[in-house]
Amino acid sequence: MSRDNLVTINKLREDIKAMKLLSLFLKPELLKKLEEMEQQIDNMSEQATLFNSRFSDYGWCAYDSMSVSLMEDANKTFEEHGIEAAEQVLIRYYKTDVKKIVHWIRSSSKSFAVRYDQIGQFFEDHFAERYYASVPLALIIIDGAVNDFTKSKGFFAEGTSVDAWDCLVGCSEGLAKLKDIFYQKRTKTNSAIITAPYRNGILHGRDINYANEHVSCKCVALMFAIADWMKMKDSEEERRTKFEKAANPPPIMDSLARLQENKQTRREIAEWKPRDVILERDIPATGTVEDYDGYPYVVAVVEMFDAWKEKNYGKLSNGLRKMFPSTDSLGKRAGECRELFQHKEFSSFEIIEVEERGCALSKVQVKVSWLSNGDIHKETLAFGCIYESTTDSVGLPWKCNGEWVLAPWDIRGLTS
């Protein structure tokens, strides 16, 4: 895997080497932190490089949200037992552990969010091992989502570029290589078992025996890689600007301070405990913003409903900005929001469930009523409440360095 695209990591590596030249003048604890940071960076880069060199030919690629431990396990198994055993490490993960984070795909971009039902059906079929159904549905979802995202071509179409600045998934042996493998021509009917999701062969009926765990799990991994690519592509210019701003002078001392800060942050996160929130004991099922003091993530949901009721589409679209993630213009976002909500007159809400899943993540499930064309509609909606930093540090509610943002986990009732 070429490291040329990993600009931030390369810059940090250069800064560390420059600082180590001054080792005689550094305190021992600072030098130790430098060496620890260098080892972490080198390990992550090496694991990703090895992973792509070993697995990309078989239909897997490293992506930015992929855990380093998964890469390490796969690489270690490859070295000790070969490719077949190593692929089983990946297959086990994408058949089991990945269940915990499938909502990431739905909230990664508007292009995936509008396919909420299809994605849900895909994962239902996948985890039930109905691969004959999950595989073609995955290919349809991926092609359509990328088509919407690029506003021109699907993922598998010739000429579709899947590059992105400064990220794993945008490297030459990442998503682009998988695209070429999966899009290869399949002009003859093939009854042999395949282990890669060849789009043309499967959707055109040429590859008959595609329904197996290898193919379906690679579809899951591909979906995560594409979700990462969409996020990275959307934030490309912003990330580039931040990098260029921080490039001079070298931010190595800031990095050392950040390392210490991150250590403290990890300690605080480990000490955090979720509350068991009981409706009508801790908070009312229905109320005003003032009724939810101490539960700021619920306040974010109630404020969103207030904006809906007041038909304040600017405020509403900001609260629901993850529903319109590919819209850069605030005015355009508000316009899309108006288009969705202008014929829905908010009536009431009733909180059904509140679950604190992490210090910066909670789930709020709400039954909402509204009027549309004279008819009363009642739907259950689920929001992921995510605390996002507004600074360069990790966003933590007790540090008051961010804001609660709503992720549309289940909004089918709004869009149907």
pLDDT of residue 252: 58
pLDDT of residue 379: 92
In percent, the amount of the chain with pLDDT more than 90 equals 50
Query: Residues 254-269: what's their mean pLDDT?
Result: 76
Q: Is 294 in contact with 375 (CB distance < 8 Å)? A: no
pLDDT of residue 10: 65
Residue written as token pair 């390490």 = 72
pLDDT exceeds cutoff 60 at 327:
no
Structural Rg of the chain based on CA atoms: 23
pLDDT exceeds cutoff 80 at 415:
no
Q: How confident is the model at residue 98 (pLDDT cuts 50, 70, 90)?
A: very high
Q: Which residue has the higher pLDDT, 166 or 194?
A: 194
Query: Residues 347-351: what's their mean pLDDT?
Result: 96
pLDDT of residue 1: 44
Instruction: Quote the Cα angle for 39-42-46, to 5°.
Output: 135
**What is d(CA 233, CA 149) in angstroms, rounded to the nearest whole number?**
10
In percent, the amount of the chain with pLDDT more than 70 equals 81
Helices 28-55 and 252-271: angle between axes, nearest 10 degrees: 80
pLDDT of residue 19: 61
**CA 130 from chain center: how many Å?**
25
Query: Residues 324-349: what's their mean pLDDT?
Result: 81
Helices 7-20 and 252-271: angle between axes, nearest 10 degrees: 110
Instruction: Tell me the pLDDT tens digit for each residue of 116-152.
Output: 889 999 999 999 999 999 999 999 999 999 988 887 7
**What is d(CA 233, CA 155) in angstroms, rounded to the nearest whole number?**
14
User: Which residues on neighbouring strands pair with residue 346, listed in sequence order?
Assistant: 370
CATH topology assigned to domain 274-415: Nuclear Transport Factor 2; Chain: A, (3.10.450)
Mean pLDDT estimate for the chain: 85
pTM of the model: 0.61
**What is d(CA 300, CA 290) in angstroms, rounded to the nearest whole number?**
12
Q: What share of the chain is helix, strand, coil (3-state, %, to 5)?
A: 55, 15, 30
Q: How confident is the model at residue 261 (pLDDT cuts 50, 70, 90)?
A: confident
pLDDT of residue 9: 64
Dihedrals phi, psi of 296, to nearest 5 degrees: -60, -25
**CA 395 from chain center: how many Å?**
17
pLDDT exceeds cutoff 70 at 158:
no
Encode burial over 6-41: b for 16+ CB neighbours within 10 A, e otherwise.
bbebebbbebbeebeeeeeeeeeebbebbeebbeeb
pLDDT exceeds cutoff 80 at 4:
no
**What is d(CA 167, CA 155) in angstroms, rounded to the nearest whole number?**
18
User: Which residues on neighbouring strands pair with residue 384, listed in sequence order?
Assistant: 363, 407
**What is d(CA 388, CA 385) in angstroms, rounded to the nearest whole number?**
9
- Taking phi first (over 0 means left), then psi (-120 to 50 degrees means alpha), and beta for anything else, what does residue 228 get? alpha
Poorest-pLDDT segment among 86-100, 204-218, 319-333: 319-333
Residue written as token pair 């260098």 = 38
264, 250, 395, 414: which is closest to 346 by C-alpha?
414
| Among 23-32, 319-328, 386-395, the range of highest mean pLDDT | 386-395
Let me know if 376 is exposed, middle or buried by CB neighbors in 10 A (0-12, 13-18, 19+).
exposed
pLDDT exceeds cutoff 50 at 2:
no
Query: Residues 338-346: what's their mean pLDDT?
Result: 90
Instruction: Tell me the pLDDT tens digit for each residue of 26-57.
Output: 566 766 776 777 777 788 888 988 999 999 99
pLDDT of residue 101: 86
pLDDT of residue 40: 78
pLDDT exceeds cutoff 70 at 62:
yes
Q: How confident is the model at residue 214 (pLDDT cuts 50, 70, 90)?
A: very high
| Domain range summary for the chain, segments of one domain joined by + | 7-246, 274-415
Six token digits for residue 236: 């490309």
User: Which residues on neighbouring strands pair with residue 371, listed in sequence order?
Assistant: 345, 376
Instruction: Tell me the pLDDT tens digit for each residue of 282-311.
Output: 999 999 999 999 999 999 999 999 999 999
pLDDT of residue 75: 97
Query: Residues 59-70: what's their mean pLDDT?
Result: 91
pLDDT of residue 42: 80
